[in-house]
Amino acid sequence: MEEQIKINLPINLGLNDGTICPQSCIDVMQAHKSITSLRNYTSSLNNPVLDVISEVDGVQPENIYLAHGSGPILKQCIPHLVKSKITGSASKMFKHLISRNAFPIISGRLTYFKVPLKAGNAGLQIKLLPLDQHTNWKLRVEDVVETLNQGDGLVYICNPNNPTGQLMLTREEIISLLEQYPKSIFWVDEAYVQYIDRSEHQPLSDLVPKYNNLFVSRTFSFAYGLAGVRMGYLLGPPEYISEFRSQVTDYCFGTLQEQLAIAALTDKEHLPKLHAMTAKDAAQITEVLEKHGIEVIPSKTHFLLCRFSGTRRTGKWLAEQLLERGIKIKHFVPVQNERYDEFFRITLGVDEENDYLCQQLDAILSN
C-alpha cells in the first residue's frame, strides 16, 4: 500500500510564494528578543539599505525607490510613466484622445498578466507580441523593433518571465533596443532574476545609471523567501525616482525590514544553495508530469509552466481536480482575445508539499 504523506492542507502552489530565506535573515529575527528592540525608527530614507543596494547593483542611492513589494511599484509607477510621456507632448495628447494609442504598453502574449490586464482596465493601449512555442518562449527582437518603429511605447520585459520561466530577451538584446529607441521606456521586471546564476545571465541593474529610459524592478519575496515581509525596490533615472518618492511618506522600511533586506543581499551562501534546491525540486515534478504526456517548459525559476496537448483536458480542469485534494495551482484567464486554456503553472513548494503534489498528480493523471 502506498504510504500517505502527512501534510497540512490546503497548500497553495498557484501563488508564487517565496522559496527559502537566507540563514542570515533567521539570525536577524532571532536577535530581536528584547521588548524594546524594535521601538526605534531607522533613518527616514532607509540609508543603510540604500547603501547596500547601491553597492550590490552598481547604482547610486538616488537611483533607488523602495516599496512594499514589486507589485505596488508596478501599479504606481508604470501608469505614471505612461501618463508623463503622453501629457508631455501635444501630439501624443491628441493621439491619446483620438485612439488611446499615444504611448502603448508593449509586451509578450504570455507574461505576468496583471500588467496588461490592469493597463487595459485603465484605458491604456496594449500591444501583445508573439511569445509561445513558435518563438521558443521568448520575445523576438524583430517583433519589438517592428512595433516601436510604428511609435514609442513602454516595453515591459519580465526577465525571467512569469509564467514561462525563460528570459524574454537577453541583456545584449535589451541594450541594443535601449540605444535604438531612446524615447521609449524599457521596464525590466527582475522579480525572479536571482534564480539564474550570473555566469548564465547578467542582470541589468548596473545599466540604470547609463540609460535614462531603463527601469529595473526587484523584490525580496521569491528567491530570498521573504514574501511575508513585503519588500521591493525600483531602479531608475533620479528625476523619476524623486517623483515616486514624493508620492509616498518616508520610513518605507521599518527597522526589521531594513535589517532583513541587508542580510539577504549580503548573504554569500544563500543563492548557490537555492539554485541546487530549485533544480532538484523542478526535476522531481517534471518527471511526474512528463510521464503522463504533459509538456513542461524548461524553467530558470521556482515555477513550471505546463501544457496539455492532444487532449480535452485543460489547466482549469487539473486545478479543480487538485483543489479537491487540497492543492491550489495556477490556471489562466483570458487577456483581451488571448486564451490559455491548455496551460497551468505550478510553483515549487517545500519537500513535503512537492512529494504530496507528485503523489496526487500521479493519481489524477493515471485515470
Structure confidence by residue, pLDDT tens digits, 257-314: 999 999 999 999 999 999 999 999 999 999 999 999 999 999 999 999 999 988 899 9
Output the pLDDT for position 328: 97
**What is the rounded distance in angstroms from the CA atom of residue 154 to the CA atom of residue 147?**
11
Output the pLDDT for position 367: 84
**What is the rounded distance in angstroms from the CA atom of residue 276 to the CA atom of residue 346?**
18
pLDDT tens, residue by residue, 345-362: 999 999 999 999 999 999
Q: Are 173 and 141 in contact (CB under 8 A)?
A: yes
Mean pLDDT value across residues 159-180: 97
pLDDT tens, residue by residue, 327-349: 999 998 877 677 889 999 999 99
Name the average pLDDT for the chain.
93
Share of the chain above pLDDT 90, in %: 82
pLDDT of 214 above 50: yes
Output the pLDDT for position 230: 95
Residue 155: φ, ψ to 5°:
-95, 115
**What is the rounded distance in angstroms from the CA atom of residue 58 to the CA atom of residue 207?**
8
Mean pLDDT value across residues 81-107: 77
Nearest CA to 193 among 132, 154, 235?
Answer: 235
Nearest CA to 305 among 267, 264, 253, 342?
Answer: 342
Grid coordinates given for 334: 483570458
Please give the angle made by the CA atoms of 84, 247 and 89, to the nearest 5 degrees: 10
User: At 115, which amino acid appears?
Assistant: V
**What is the rounded distance in angstroms from the CA atom of residue 336 to the CA atom of residue 81?**
22
Out of 119-133, 160-174, 221-235, pick the least confident. 119-133
Residue 58, phi-psi category: left (phi > 0), alpha (psi -120 to 50), beta (remainder): left
Q: Are 115 and 105 in contact (CB under 8 A)?
A: yes
Please give the angle made by the CA atoms of 112, 16 and 74, to the nearest 5 degrees: 40
Share of the chain above pLDDT 70, in %: 95
Output the pLDDT for position 12: 96
Output the pLDDT for position 4: 55
Q: Sign (positive/negative) of CA torsion 123, 124, 127, 128? A: negative
Q: In CATH, what number does 26-266 get?
A: 3.40.640.10
Output the pLDDT for position 8: 85
11-22+270-365 adopts what CATH topology? Aspartate Aminotransferase, domain 1 (3.90.1150)
Q: Are 234 and 65 in contact (CB under 8 A)?
A: yes
pLDDT of 183 above 90: yes
pLDDT tens, residue by residue, 17-43: 888 999 999 999 999 999 999 999 999
pLDDT of 1 above 50: no
> Domain coordinates of the chain in residue numbers?
11-22+270-365, 26-266
Output the pLDDT for position 2: 46
DSSP string, 228-297: TT--EEEE--HHHHHHHHHTS-S--S-HHHHHHHHHHHH-SSHHHHHHHHHHHHHHHHHHHHHHTT-EEE
The pTM assigned to this predicted structure is 0.94
pLDDT of 141 above 90: yes
pLDDT of 104 above 70: yes
Collect all residues with Cβ–Cβ distance below 8 Å to 227 and sequence separation of at least 6.
Answer: 17, 18, 69, 221
**What is the rounded distance in angstroms from the CA atom of residue 260 to the CA atom of residue 251?**
15
Mean pLDDT value across residues 60-73: 96
Q: Are 164 and 305 in contact (CB under 8 A)?
A: yes
Collect all residues with Cβ–Cβ distance below 8 Å to 258 and sequence separation of at least 6.
Answer: 42, 46, 48, 49
pLDDT of 93 above 80: no
The bridge status of strand 126-129 relative to strand 295-297 is unpaired
Please give the angle made by the CA atoms of 69, 75 and 80, to the nearest 5 degrees: 125
**What is the rounded distance in angstroms from the CA atom of residue 158 to the CA atom of residue 61?**
24
DSSP string, 100-142: S-SS-EEEESSS-THHHHHHHHTT--EEEEP-SGGGTTS--HH
Please give the angle made by the CA atoms of 326, 329 and 334, to the nearest 5 degrees: 135
Output the pLDDT for position 150: 94
Residue 87, phi-psi category: left (phi > 0), alpha (psi -120 to 50), beta (remainder): alpha
Grid coordinates given for 245: 518618492
Q: In which band, very low, low, confident or very high, does the pLDDT at 96 lie, cut at 50, 70 and 90?
A: low
pLDDT of 156 above 80: yes
Output the pLDDT for position 122: 76
